[in-house]
Amino acid sequence: MSDVSLDKSVDKRRTFAIISHPDAGKTTITEQLLLFGGIIRQAGTVKAKKSGNFAKSDWMEIEKKRGISVTSSVMQFDYAGKRINILDTPGHEDFSEDTYRTLMAVDSAVMVIDAAKGIEPQTKKLFKICKMRGIPIFTFMNKLDRDSRDPMELISQLEDVLGIEGYPMNWPIGSGKVLRGLYDRYNKRVELYRPEDKDNPYLPLDDDGNLTTDNEITEDSVYQDAKESMDLITEAGNPFDIDKIKRGDQTPVFFGSALVNFGVQTFLDAYLKFAPAPNVHETQDDEIVKPDDEEFSGFVFKIQANMNPRHRDRIAFVRVCSGKFSRGMDVTLERNQKSLRLSNVTEFMANTRENVQNAVAGDIIGLYDTGNFQIGDTIYTGKKNINFKKLPQFTPELFVKVSAKNVMKQKSFHKGINQLVQEGAVQLYTAYTTGDYILGAVGQLQFEVFQFRMQNEYNSEVVMETMGHKTARWINPDQLDEKMSSSRNILVKDVHDEPLFLFENAFAERWFKDKYPDVELTSKL
């Protein structure tokens, strides 16, 4: 049964992640969005937090109290009648499977690209996950205040490198020192970079795309170039296609500069118009859970362990999929059918305390956890069992050999490893010939967290031997011959007993493919 008032609240939610390569400007643009939402009053706040000298803030207080750093993982604010949830996708050294899993909990993604650099490796990886989920992706070409690449080249890169059609919503009029503004075909206006009248930076365009009033900008060759490019694209480019956008086959592209706050609001307003409200979720039994279903349901997409030894607690991040969360409610944990009371719940950067008490589909709640939850767990209310589809497995890229430092402590070593692997902290493989334990991860931090938690939670000191980057490829067990293993690859099995090779590098993989052309090698996401 659906609930009309719930339906209205859900309809206001916009839940997204920003995907980008480090340094493209994710933090800077997040900050601008928080400024629009009235969450922070001054730019530089998030940045200061990142570098650790963030002193007087509400979130820091929460962090201090809890002794755990969670507050920037989810940022919630209201803007233009919508309630926005931005989920952080840690990059740099913090890059981990959690970064990927966060993308399972959003309804759309914003892709920030440095317009001077174009598409970079980490963006490509994160994009792939979004594409697989078929969620809408909105692109912001950043740093227009610096000399940028030819915008035409940036648009075609989207298609050539990522395989997604780009639909420019606006077009830069110059860049760097000659940045004049944006030729905005969507809003039918020119947005001036340095307008004489700061309160009105817009010059309207008529239906043919010409300025309705005289302005000296029309004399400028960078304006003429931008208009020409836009005319050409309007005539010969891909038409705007909302169905393609919804499927993630076309991305609306916006240009601007997060640092000088140019084009960001134009982007946000259009984004909110086209980004989807929370969608339905499928269960293992192929049933559909609707966001406005009365019973509450959600799934755990991330567990953040506390790195502070004085606080052993963890936080399980739950994406709400249906119903309404209220503090103190009883839910069923699907995996073991246990009943749990949700009373110790963390709030994110909400404007008021009430927000988390009334979380609905699209919102994220953080549950203090003493070991009840695993990644992928479903929780729900009501008599009907709900079990959401499993979260996908990702292809790890970094590997270490792991063993217990003290051979007498095998029991706690095995207990810890099993628990942490089940929880999704790292992936575990066993070498065919030697029986060695090998851990796989997408980011180095996962190993560090693993080592720390083994010591702190299971009293097991581990030795890790770096194996570096490897290419993991699964092989059909029927085609496997142990003789295929050589000095350039290691044959291992995963926790489901499925065999795979860890190749030294792409060359080793190609060599294998040449030698065994009929053998099928596959990767996970």
Give the annotated binding-site residues: 20-27, 88-92, 142-145
Q: Where are the beta strands (DSSP E) in 216-353?
A: 250-255, 281-282, 288-289, 297-305, 314-322, 329-333, 338-342, 345-346
Which residue number, 46 or 245, has a Cβ lying nearer to ligand G4P?
Answer: 46
Name the minimum Å distance from CB 342 to ligand G4P: 32
Residue 24 interacting with ligand G4P (CB under 6 A): yes
How big is the CA angle at 257 (ends 255 and 263), to the nearest 5 degrees?
Answer: 55
Residue showing tokens 């803030």: 57
Name the minimum Å distance from CB 150 to ligand G4P: 18
Name the minimum Å distance from CB 126 to ligand G4P: 12
**Interaction with ligand G4P in 381-400: which residues (CB under 6 A)?**
none
Q: Which range of residues in 20-28, 236-244, 498-506, 517-525 is near ligand G4P by CB under 6 A? A: 20-28
**Interaction with ligand G4P in 123-152: which residues (CB under 6 A)?**
142-143, 145-146
CB distance 264 to 191 below 8 Å: no
Distance CA 329, CA 324 (A): 10
Longest dimension (CA), the chain: 84
Residue 500 interacting with ligand G4P (CB under 6 A): no
Binding mask of the shown chain, residues 254 to 293, with x at each position contacting ligand G4P by CB under 6 A: ---xxx----------------------------------
Name the minimum Å distance from CB 120 to ligand G4P: 10
Which residue number, 47 or 389, has a Cβ lying nearer to ligand G4P?
Answer: 47
Residue 20 interacting with ligand G4P (CB under 6 A): yes
CB distance 386 to 280 below 8 Å: no
- Tokens describing residue 200: 């009105």
Residue 460 interacting with ligand G4P (CB under 6 A): no
- The size of the interface with ligand G4P (CB under 6 A), counted in residues, is 16
Number of alpha helices (DSSP H) and beta strands (DSSP E) in the chain: 14, 28
The amino acid sitting at 136 is P
Task: Among 26, 302, 319, 324, indicate the residue that binds ligand G4P (CB under 6 A).
Answer: 26
Name the minimum Å distance from CB 111 to ligand G4P: 12
Distance CA 157, CA 124 (A): 11
CB distance 304 to 315 below 8 Å: yes
Binding-site sequence positions for GTP: 20-27, 88-92, 142-145
Of 137, 134, 83, nearest in space to 110 by CA:
137
Binding mask of the shown chain, residues 239 to 258, with x at each position contacting ligand G4P by CB under 6 A: ------------------xx
Residue 461 interacting with ligand G4P (CB under 6 A): no
CB distance 17 to 88 below 8 Å: yes
Residue 249's contacts (CB-CB under 8 Å, 6 or more residues apart) are 164, 165, 241
CB distance 423 to 375 below 8 Å: yes
Task: Among 9, 15, 19, 25, indicate the residue that binds ligand G4P (CB under 6 A).
Answer: 25
How big is the CA angle at 32 (ends 28 and 33), to the nearest 5 degrees?
Answer: 115
Task: Among 3, 7, 11, 22, indicate the residue that binds ligand G4P (CB under 6 A).
Answer: 22
Name the minimum Å distance from CB 142 to ligand G4P: 5
Residue 47 interacting with ligand G4P (CB under 6 A): yes
Distance CA 380, CA 408 (A): 42
User: For binding to ligand G4P (CB under 6 A), which residues are involved?
Assistant: 20, 22-28, 47, 142-143, 145-146, 257-259
